[in-house]
Structure 1
Amino acid sequence: MIKRLVGQFNIIGKAVLGSLAPSLYRLAFVLFGLLLGLVWAYSFDPIKFKDAEPVHLADGYKDQWIKMAAVEYASSADTEEAKQKIVKAGVSPDMIQDLINDNQATDPQLAGQLQALLQVANDNESQANKQADKVESGFIGTVLGPVACFFGAAIIGILLALVFTFYFTLPIGKWARPKAGQVAAGGGQVGVGGTQKAAAEQKTDFKAAGEVPPVSQHMSIYILGNDLYDDSFAIETPEGAFLGECGSGISETIGVGSPKKVTAAEVWLFDKNDIRTVTKVLMSEHAFKDQALRSKLAPKGDAVMVAPAMVTTLETQTLRVQIRVVDLQYGEGSLPPNSFFERLTVEIAAWPKEDVSGTGKSQPPDTSAAFGDTAELLNY
Structure 2
Amino acid sequence: MNGYSLSKRAVEESLFCVALAFSCLVLPSKVLRAAVGLELSALFGAAFMLLASLAFLTRKVRVHNNSFWLAFSMALIGGLASVIASSPTHLMLGVSAGFTVYISESCRLALVGKRVATFFLLSSYLALLSSAIGIAYAYFGGMPLFSVHVDGRDNLLYLSTFSVAEVGGFIRPSWIFDEPGALAMYLVIAAVFIIREGSFRNHLKFILPASLLTTSLVMFLIVLLYLVLTFRIKRSLKLLLGTLLTCGVILTIMPGVFDLIGSFIEGAFLDRLALEDGRVAGDNRSNQVIEFFSLLNSDILWRGAFALHSPPPFHDQSSHPFSIIFFYGILLWLPYAGVVIILISGCLLKEGNARFASAAMLLLLLQRPYLYHLAWMIQVIFALSLLGVFRLQLSGAFDRSER
Name the TM-score, length of structure 2 as normaliser: 0.22
Q: Which has the higher strand share?
A: 1
Greater relative contact order (Cα < 8 A, sep 6+): 2
Which structure has the greater CA radius of gyration?
A: 1
